[in-house]
Amino acid sequence: MEFDAPRIAPAGTLADRVTAVLLEKIKTGEFPAGMRLPPEQVICEHFGVSRTVVREAISRLKSDGLVEVRQGSGTVVREPNRTTAFRLDIDTQHSIEAVLRVTELRRGIEAEAAALAALRRSRAQLAAIRRALGAIDSAVKRQRDGVDEDLAFHIAISHATGNPLYPPLLAYLSHFIHAAIGITRSNEARREDFANAVRAEHNAIYEAIAAQDPAAARRAVIEHIDNAGRRIREADPAFWAELGGATQPLIAPARRAARKSAAR
């Protein structure tokens, strides 16, 4: 079967572009329910991308419930459901605005998760949160970025909420949160005062949960998230240059200089 599709537009990551084209084909009915998607190699050759990119695109479609893998048939378009799968169209790798939006989203979700964890956590769950907190410091000492460990700390808190909906929600958001944390931690690692502030903020979250103080836990997370956003906004131009220039500071250098005295 020939894969007749337009070349991808020069916007977003390669996986974003391939996903967008395949999604459009499914939405318009050009790829109807029951149709087998073109072979992986055909898609690779058409778009000029690697198998990794194509697999990522198909994985996204599977996550959205649009395609499924059938034994002996390959990847097949599914019958449309009455409900549309929820998805976030966010590219945290290439936009400061996207990083800040994810950070803002985390503020509401994780602040309430911490408050619930403070009320409901068990001793075993508190110990798991403590281990996750210690793993961040261990990663930094081993000169790792600590991104996985940072995310694991917040996921451990979600498991202590007593609400079974929180862990899968954090798991769904983990791809976006992971990328956002990666950028914020890269920025924070450039300055010792930033790194120390992050460590203190994480400790404050843990201590509030340990003390079973939901109001303090909520405040600690809000302060942590708000400070992460501020540190990103005030990152110096050299940081963005190291990221390849794909993202740009949101505040002018003059304004940043005027606010440096307030930065920790």
- CATH code assigned to 14-77: 1.10.10.10
Q: How far apart are CA 14 and CA 109, in angstroms?
A: 30
Q: What is the pLDDT of residue 128?
A: 97
pTM score, two decimals?
A: 0.62
Average pLDDT over residues 222-242: 80
Task: Count Cβ neighbours within 10 Å for each residue of 169-186 and write b for 16 or more, e otherwise.
Answer: ebeebeebbebbbbbbbe
Q: How far apart are CA 33 and CA 29, in angstroms?
A: 8
Indicate if 96-245 has the same CATH topology as 14-77.
no
Distances (CA, A) of 175 to 89, 117, 205, 238: 12, 23, 22, 26
Question: To 10 degrees, what angle do helices 192-210 and 147-159 make?
Answer: 20
Q: What is the pLDDT of residue 195?
A: 81
Domain range annotation of the chain: 14-77, 96-245
CA 39 to chain CA centroid, Å, is 29
**96-245: which CATH architecture?**
Up-down Bundle (1.20)
Classify 74 as helix, strand or coil: strand
Mean pLDDT comparison of 72-86, 128-142, 200-214, 220-234, highest-scoring range: 200-214
